């Protein structure tokens, strides 16, 4: 194996860390590329190109470190990714990356840590959000002067993972004055595949609300982080698979799952009397809420395992003038409480690592429980809307 083809020679602490992150991102992306939503079923060619590139770079760094490299992709996936925590790999990482004890595969599936580093490698979030479908929905909504259509679509797919034949027909006809709506539904939902069902039924998680692929042994257990932590997870619902449609895998990962904490926060605020607008201005923010007393806030919800990676993703909050229907007085970046409970360094790493937060000291980073508690509760329910 030639070592001259693996890229630049890294020197210095910063370069070594960067080299380690590149390898981690490539391998994580390759694992995700192998599995889609269905899971890594078997090791077979063709492998995702990112996985091979990651192996090549890892092998070169192993040689430089005097360590034995993985013996091919099967060894990388089956042993290194599945059994060895990242802090045992001969790579350097920034302490705030918190790789200690993290594995890329757990139970044959990419871990949450792995999924987030895959996002980092190829900017999959931007890729998905600017995909043909999402871009078409945003462009059409803007052209029609109805930005709420995008919010309606996003709300619907977040709440509906599986649709029976009649439900799917109703969904397609939900917005009759916009012919494109039916096409959006067709492209958002695909037939239930054989591997996604068991005994003629597809399982829908009672926690996150998304469809679950049965394991090889036939057991059905949701692998989403929050669901995997719960001891009181409700039994999944079983939906007749014949003729049913399930949300496309990429929309599960990048739209529906992130949408759950956003929608949960919106409804908790509305229960205390706030009026909450979802995804204003075609998702410029996750929500804008007006308290019962008139105080207005703009909110972005960030549900990430890694604050180190999240810090790189935080963008500048929009500054809308007083005459704008979505103008807000105070901006908040909201992190779910359980993320902070699981990682006491979360807030520190965000504050130290995010250039966007440093440039916007007026933006307050809070947990969801604290933001909800700050909303005055006058005993009258508010509302969650998709429109202006």
pLDDT digits (tens, 9 = 90+) for 189-236: 999 888 888 889 999 999 999 999 887 777 788 888 889 888 899 999
pLDDT band at residue 11, thresholds of 50, 70 and 90?
A: very low
What DSSP designation does 9 have?
P
pLDDT computed for residue 43 by the predictor? 44
Q: What angle do CA 275, 279, 283 make, to 5 degrees?
A: 155
Sheet strands (E) in 223-311: 237-240, 245-247, 275-278, 287-290, 296-301
Of 83-87, 160-164, 254-258, 273-277, the poorest mean pLDDT is in: 254-258
Q: Decide if pLDDT at 388 tops 80.
A: no
Residue listed under structure tokens 């979360």: 346
Give the pairing of strands 275-278 and 189-191. Answer: unpaired
Evaluate if residue 48 carries a pLDDT over 80. no
- Residue 12 region by backbone torsions, left for phi larger than 0, else alpha for psi between -120 and 50, else beta: left
pLDDT of 118: 87
pLDDT (0 to 100) of residue 101: 94
* pLDDT above 70 for 40: no
Average pLDDT over residues 107-126: 74
User: Is pLDDT of 39 > 50?
Assistant: no
- Would you kindly state where each structural domain of the chain is located, as residue ranges? 13-122, 128-252, 256-385
pLDDT > 70: percent of the chain = 89
| Weakest-pLDDT range from 11-25, 178-192, 300-314 | 11-25
Q: pLDDT-based confidence at 169, cuts 50/70/90?
A: very high
Report the interhelical angle of 257-271 vs 148-159 (nearest 10°): 110
Structure tokens at 297: 């806030």
Q: What percent of the chain has pLDDT over 90?
A: 67
pLDDT in tens, 244-263: 999 988 788 889 999 999 99
Contact 201, 213 (CB under 8 A): no
> What does pLDDT average to over the chain?
87
Rounded average pLDDT over 313-329 = 92
Taking residues 58-87, what's their average pLDDT?
93
Kindly tell me the burial class for residue 132, based on how many C-beta atoms sit within 10 Å of its own C-beta (0-12, 13-18, 19 or more).
exposed
The whole-number pLDDT of residue 349 equals 97
Cα–Cα distance, 160 to 376 (Å, whole number) = 31
């Amino acid at each position: 194996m030639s070592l001259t083809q693996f890229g630049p020679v890294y020197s210095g602490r910063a370069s070594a860390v960067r080299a380690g992150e590149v390898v981690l991102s490539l391998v994580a992306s390759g694992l995700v590329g192998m599995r889609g939503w269905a899971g890594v079923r078997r090791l077979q060619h063709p492998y995702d190109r990112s996985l091979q590139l990651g192996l090549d770079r890892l092998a070169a760094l192993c040689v430089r470190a005097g360590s034995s490299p993985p013996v091919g992709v099967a060894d990388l996936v089956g042993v290194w990714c599945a059994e060895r925590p990242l802090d045992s790999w001969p790579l350097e990482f920034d302490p705030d990356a918190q790789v200690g004890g993290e594995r890329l595969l757990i139970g044959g599936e990419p871990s949450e840590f792995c999924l987030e580093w895959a996002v980092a490698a190829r900017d999959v979030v931007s890729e998905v959000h600017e995909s043909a479908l999402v871009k078409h929905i945003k462009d059409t909504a803007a052209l029609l002067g109805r930005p709420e259509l995008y919010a309606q679509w996003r709300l619907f797919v977040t709440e509906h993972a599986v649709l029976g034949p009649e439900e799917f027909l109703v969904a397609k006809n939900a917005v009759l004055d916009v012919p494109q709506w039916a096409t959006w539904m067709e492209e958002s939902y695909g037939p239930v595949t054989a591997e996604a069902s068991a005994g003629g039924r597809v399982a829908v998680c009672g926690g996150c609300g998304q469809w679950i692929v049965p394991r090889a042994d036939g057991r059905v257990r949701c692998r989403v982080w929050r669901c995997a932590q719960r001891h009181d997870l409700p039994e999944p619902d079983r939906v007749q698979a014949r003729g049913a449609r399930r949300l496309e895998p990429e929309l599960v990962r990048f739209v529906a799952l992130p949408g759950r904490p956003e929608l949960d926060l919106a409804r908790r605020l509305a229960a205390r009397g706030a009026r909450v607008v979802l995804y204003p201005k075609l998702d410029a923010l996750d929500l804008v809420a007006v308290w019962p007393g008139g105080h207005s806030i703009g909110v972005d919800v960030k549900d990430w395992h890694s604050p180190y990676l999240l810090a790189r993703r935080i963008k500048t909050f929009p500054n809308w003038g007083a005459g704008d229907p979505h103008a807000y007085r105070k901006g908040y970046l909201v992190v779910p409480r359980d993320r902070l409970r699981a990682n006491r360094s979360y807030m520190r790493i965000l504050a130290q690592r995010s250039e966007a937060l440093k440039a916007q000291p007026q933006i307050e980073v809070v947990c969801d429980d604290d933001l909800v508690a700050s909303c005055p509760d006058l005993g009258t329910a508010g509302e969650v809307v998709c429109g202006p």
